[in-house]
Structure 1
C-alpha cells in the first residue's frame, strides 16, 4: 500500500529529526573555533560541522509552524536556510553562543516562507505585517473573550483599535491584514467539528510569546549582562571605549580605516587597540566565571 504525500512528508520529517538528534553537541570553545574557521578561511568542512550540530534547533523551530498547513519538509528546508544565513553572518568576536544568534535567522526564514505560501494574496513582509500575521487572530480572540467576560460589546472598529495598541502597529495595518486573512483560503475561526460544541481552530493555537517566568528570567539575565559589560567597558581607557563602541555597538559598525583616519592612526594600530580592548573586557568577564557562562549558553 503506497503512502500519500502527507504520510511521506511525516515519515521524511521524522527521518531528518532522528538524524539531527544524533549529531554532536558542540561546546563553546569548539563552536567558536569552527565559526572562526568559516569566517576567516571559508572552511566548508567547519561550516558543515557547525550547521549539522545545530540542525536539531532548526527542526525544533520549524515544527512550531506546522499548524499553518505547510509541509514539514518545506519548513525544515527553510529553517535550514535560515541556519546557513546565521552561520554566514555570525561574528564569534561578539562573545555569544551561535544558537542564540541563529534563533532569529531561523525564525525569520520560516516566517517568510509561511507568509509567502499562506494565500494567493500577498500578505506583506514588513516587521509590523509579520507581527500581525502571526498574532492577530490570537490577540483578537483574547480581547473578545475579555470583553465578553466584562459584559462589554465591542464593534469592529473598537476591536481593531485595541489590536493595534496590543501588537504595537498602526491601525491601518490591522485593517489591511484583517481583510486579507478573512478570505476563503483558510479561517482560524472555523469550527473543528460539531462534536466540539463550536470550538474554533484559533483555540488550539499555542501562544508563541514567552511565559511570565521566562520574561522575568530574561529581564534578570539581560540586566546582569548589561551590568557586567558596563563594568568591563569601565576598565578601558577613553580611546579603547570609543573604538569598541564604534566597532561593535553601532547599528552600522565603522571600518578600521575610518577610525584610523579620525584618530590619526594606521588601520593596523586601530586593530591592535581593538584586540587589546577585547582582551581587557574578556579578562574582566572571566572573573565572573560560571555566572557569565550560564547566561550565554
Structure 2
C-alpha cells in the first residue's frame, strides 16, 4: 500500500469515529480522571481524530508526510486527553487544539531541516507565520520592497528585522547534502564535502607536533632535576597541572606565606630557564 492510499485509509477511519455530545464527553473524562479508565481516554481521543486530520492538512505546506503529521498530532491528542480536567467548563476540542498544534509544530521544527532553528516562542511564531504574512502583504495594492515587507512582519510578530531576514533566507532554500556530487558538463568532480576547508593540522603537522612534544617533555624532565623538592612541588602544582593550585593553597600545604611561595616559584622558573638553555639555547626564550 503506497503512502497516499494509507493516508486515505487513515482519514476515512478518523472521519468514521462517532461524535460525542457534551455529557458523553464529560462522563468519559471523569472515568479517566477518577478511575484511570484507559478505554475512556482512548474513546475521547478517537472521537477527536477529525481535529487532528484538519490541523495536519494546514501544515502540509512544509513538505512532510501527512501520515507523520497525523501521528504526531495524535500524540498531542493523547497528551491532552491525559491532562484534561472535566471540572472546567470547556469542551475537550478547545483544550486539545493547543496540544495537537504544539506537537505538530515541534515535529516540523525537528524535521523540516537538518539545521535546527530557534525554539523560542517568537522564533516559532516567525517560522510558522512568515510565509503567510509575506503572501498577504504581497497581495496588497502597495508595491513593497523586501525590506519594507520584513519591517512590517517584524513589527507584527515583535521580532527584529535581522531575525525576519534570516528566517526568510532559511525558508527560501533547501538543505544540500555534503555527499552531493559536484559535476561539470557531465564530468564527476568529487563531493561537496571535498570542497570544505579543514582547520585540523595536516598529518605531517600532527607528527611534527608529537615529536616536538616528546622532545620538550624530555628536556623539561632533565631540567626539573635541578630543582629542590619544594621548588619541584611548587612548579608541578602551579605550572604542570590543569587545575593549578593557588599561592595560598600551596602556602598552607608547605607551611609558608603565599608571598614566599611566589618568590620560590620565580626562582625555580629562573633555574628551569637556565637548565633549558644548557640543553638547547632556543628553548630558554
The reply to whether TM is greater than 0.5 is yes
- Secondary structure of 1:37 counterpart: helix
Secondary structure of 1:12 counterpart: helix
Name the CA distance, whole Å, in 1 between partners of 2:21 and 2:108.
Answer: 33
Q: Distance in 2 between matches of 1:72 and 1:135?
A: 20
* In structure 1, distance between residues paired with 2:34 and 2:160: 43
Alignment counterpart, residue 31 of structure 1, candidates 25, 30, 36 = 25
Tell me if 1:179 matches 2:169: yes
Matching of residue 128 in structure 1 with residue 118 in structure 2? no
Instruction: Please point out which of 64, 73, 76 is paired with 1:70.
Output: 64
The structure with higher relative contact order (CA 8 Å, sep 6+) is 1
Q: How big is each residue's C-alpha offset from its partner over 1:81-124, in whole Å with a ceiling of 9 and x where there is no partner? A: 11011111111111100011111111111111112111111122
SS in 2 for 1:26: coil
Shift of 1:130: 1.6
Instruction: Give the match for residue 246 of structure 2.
Output: none
Unmatched 5+ stretches in structure 2: 177-285
Q: Tell me which structure has the larger Cα radius of gyration.
A: 2
Q: Secondary structure of the equivalent of 1:95?
A: coil
Q: Is the 8 A contact 1:66 1:72 kept in 2?
A: yes
* Structure 1 spans left out of the alignment, 5+ residues: 187-297
Structure 2 matches for 1:145-164, cutoff 5 A? 145-146=139-140, 149-150=141-142, 154=145, 156-164=146-154
| Aligned residue number for residue 42 of structure 1 | 36
Q: 1:95 to 1:116 in 2, by over 3 A?
A: same
TM-score (norm 1): 0.55
After TM superposition, the score normalised by the length of structure 2 is 0.57
- Which residue does 1:79 correspond to in 2? 73
Who is 2:260 aligned against? none
Cα gap change, 1:88/1:180 in structure 2, threshold over 3 Å: closer, same or farther?
same
Distance 1:140 1:83, change over 3 A: same
- Measured in 2, the distance between the counterparts of 1:34 and 1:153 equals 53
Alpha-carbon shift at residue 145 of structure 1 (Å): 4.5
Partner of 2:155: 165
Kept in 2: contact 1:121–1:180 (CA 8 A) = no
Q: How does 1:47-62 map to 2 (within 5 A)?
A: 47-62=41-56
1:112 equivalent in alignment to 2:106: yes
Q: How many angstroms apart in 2 are the aligned matches of 1:135 and 1:20?
A: 28
- Given that 1:123 and 1:180 are in contact with CA atoms closer than 8 Å, whether structure 2 keeps it comes out as no
Q: CA deviation at 1:27?
A: 1.0
- Aligned residue pairs total 176
Query: 1:188-227 maps to which residues of 2 (within 5 A)?
Result: none
Q: Determine if the alignment matches structure 1 residue 101 to structure 2 residue 91.
A: no
In 2, Cα distance between equivalents of 1:83 and 1:76: 10
Give the match's secondary structure for 1:105. helix
SS at match of 1:119: coil
